[in-house]
Amino acid sequence: MISKESENKNYYWILYGLIVTLGIFFRFYLIGERPFHHDESLNAIYGRYFYAHPSTHFYKYDPMLHGPFLYNLYPFFYQILGATKSSARIVMALFGSFLIFVPFFFRSKISKNTLFLSTLFIASSPTLIYWSRFVRHDPPVLLCLAVCLIAWITKDTWKRSILWTWGLILPFTMKENAYVHIAILLGYLVYESLLTTIFKIEINSLASKAFKFIKANWGKVLIGITSAIFIYIVLYSAWFRHPEGILDGVYRKSLAYWLSQHHKDRIAGPFVYQFLILSWYEQVFILLAICQTLHFYMKRSFQVKGTFVVFLLLAFILKYLNPSTIPANSFLSTILKLKISLDFYPFLILLSHSIIMTTCYLFEKKQVLAFTGYLFTSFFFTYSLVGEKVPWLSLYPLVMGVLFLCVYYQKELNSKDFGKFGKVIILVFVCFQVRMMLMTNYSRAGADTEFISQVHTSDHYEKVALKIREEINYPIGQRPHVMAMEHNTWPLTWYLYGLKEYHYIQGKRELEDFDYILTSTTDTNTRNKLRLTHEKSDVPLRWWWVPDYKTMNLKNFFNYAFNHNPWTVPGKMDISIYKKKPIE
């Protein structure tokens, strides 16, 4: 006879397995439906170049396209699955699916409640699913961060040596933000060492623990570092064909590019940008983070509460002392990335809260809380501070935040039982999160109303590209020749790659000789000339929605958070398609 405890245990694992299965399902379901974003087409096709012409079209490091890891990985998958839009995204979905299992590796360290809630959140997270279905370098970087966490708790010295060295070094083959992550880690190690030394706090600092481990296992660590560096050299040298790429990746191009991007603001946005992304797509996470912050200060002394209140008042004063839009050439705007007066709130709150919380936990000898809390707030602050404001960077504070909230729930709330009321609240949160996940990834994926979509290719444009490809592959009569001009090169090159009838360099041909001309030119002479021989139609190439921060109020904020109804008109970029008139 099965005991009630065994039966409850079986129900738990059945429900856990169902959550994992659904999380994986939503990462793969209809993965090829949404049109390729501009960035996706670039990332996918450079791997396709290498796949189609491995001896000549190997990837030479370009910091704008990031590290070589992805482009060396794709030929393997294209060989198995074919070079399609779906296969390119499946690679990302595999990385994203692995993240669902990360809490399971900690099952001996955490309670069943913590394991269940963390897995449930990761499996249903709207943005974790969205970026698991988007061809970018960030999912493998997140996998490396997860590997570092797993190395943190493993007892096997071989596994720990390999996992943490690979987890720290291999991200340098993926994306330049590896420099940022190392800087954040070093920042904690230095601060913790100084604080414990000056105030004689009786804990072993992480730096001393790492040093002792390396000293005791230096051979294993050396093998881990050497093997990771070897992979680095292989990838950056394009399998020893392009040796100058090694130093380009180490510092010559990578670090310089990252530093220059911080000052250029190529895609500008306010400091509050990442908070808005998470508030409008990860509402459950933001609410839990706010509740954790309130709970933290409720348990602290009057002096700690007062210090944080002082920073809040300072943010309030600075907001109303400054204009709604801060001058673009000022120190606040160019260096601190404060673009609007509202930016003072997240800037000062994140900065002060990170220092206060980390310091308090270290004095209380709660090292794990200090470290994970620092990672969350510092990632949030850093990715709000970077010059280029793009939505996928919100992944990093989100993942670090989930880690911290799990540790906080485990250690500060003692993984308390949910109770009937708690279960109802969790069910409401789950329903809301699933609703938002379905909107973000299916019903409104890539729509012009979506803040997360940035400048997404319209479905109209993709239909045109597919129609042209079909006419070239299955022609009635002569195969049409296509000329892509200006902004049309991407993503059109992905859709028409390998077809000799596709051109993006005019060469010696007259423009009117092409059967299709896709252009955004405003030159009147060119347009009038083409109208004599071609029929013109306009389609949107890309669309986007960027909030008008001056008119944003609480009503607009919550209306978008709950229903994704923008309060301003979405933008779009139209292009003209000239199709040769039939000969009469």
Per-residue pLDDT band for 263 (boundaries 50, 70, 90) equals low
Give percent of the chain above pLDDT 90. 77
Q: What is the pLDDT of residue 121?
A: 97
Residue 400 sits at the vertex; the CA angle it makes with 414 and 339, to the nearest 5 degrees, is: 130
One-letter amino acid for residue 330 of the chain: S
Q: Where are the beta strands (DSSP E) in 105-189?
A: none
Quickly state the pLDDT bin for 256 (edges 50, 70, 90): confident
| Helices assigned H by DSSP within 299-366 | 302-321, 331-334, 344-363
Asked if residues 400 and 421 have their Cβ atoms less than 8 Å apart, the reply is: no
pLDDT cut 70: percent of the chain above it = 97
Is residue 413 pLDDT above 90, yes or no?
no
Three-state secondary structure call for residue 411? helix
Instruction: Give the model's pLDDT for residue 87.
Output: 95
Higher pLDDT residue, 458 or 54? 458
Lowest mean pLDDT among 23-32, 48-57, 222-231: 48-57
Cα separation, 553 vs 279, whole angstroms: 14
How high does pLDDT run on average in the chain?
92
Instruction: Check: CB of residue 372 under 8 Å from CB of residue 400.
Output: yes
Sheet containing 502-503, strands listed edge to edge, beginning at the edge strand earlier in sequence: 456-457, 534-544, 571-580, 516-519, 482-484, 502-503
Confidence of residue 1 (pLDDT cuts 50, 70, 90): very low
467-482 pLDDT, tens digit per residue, is 999 999 988 778 999 9
Structure tokens at 361: 């936990």
Nearby residues of 345 by Cβ (< 8 Å), 6 or more positions away: 272, 315, 319
pLDDT at 5: 60
pLDDT of residue 584: 62
Give per-residue pLDDT as tens, 321-355. Answer: 988 889 888 899 888 899 999 999 999 999 999 99
Q: Amino acid identity of 437?
A: M
Q: Which residue has the higher pLDDT, 401 or 3?
A: 401
Residue 4 has pLDDT above 60, yes or no: no
Q: What's the pTM value of the predicted model, to 2 decimals? A: 0.94
Distance CA 358, CA 355 (A): 5
| Model pLDDT, residue 431 | 95
Under the banding of pLDDT at 50, 70 and 90, the label for residue 454 is confident
Please tell me what DSSP assigns to residue 513. Answer: G
Mean pLDDT of 12-18: 94
If DSSP states are collapsed to H, E and C, what string results for 419-453? HHHHHHHHHHHHHHHHHHHHHHHHHCCCCCCCHHH
Indicate if the pLDDT at residue 316 is higher than 90: yes
Alpha-carbon dihedral 396, 18, 442, 383, rounded to 10 degrees: 0
Q: How far apart are CA 494 and CA 84, in angstroms?
A: 9
410 and 365 Cβ atoms separated by less than 8 Å: no
Give the residue extent of every domain in the chain: 269-414, 453-580
3-state SS class at 134: coil
Q: Give the pLDDT confidence of 97-148 residue by residue, as tens digits.
A: 999 999 999 988 899 999 999 999 999 999 999 999 999 999 999 999 999 9
- For the chain, how long is the longest CA-to-CA vector? 92
pLDDT in tens, 490-514: 999 999 999 999 998 888 888 989 9
CA pair distance 19, 336, nearest whole angstrom: 41
Q: Which residues contact 145 (CB under 8 A, 6 or more apart)?
A: 167, 171, 181, 399
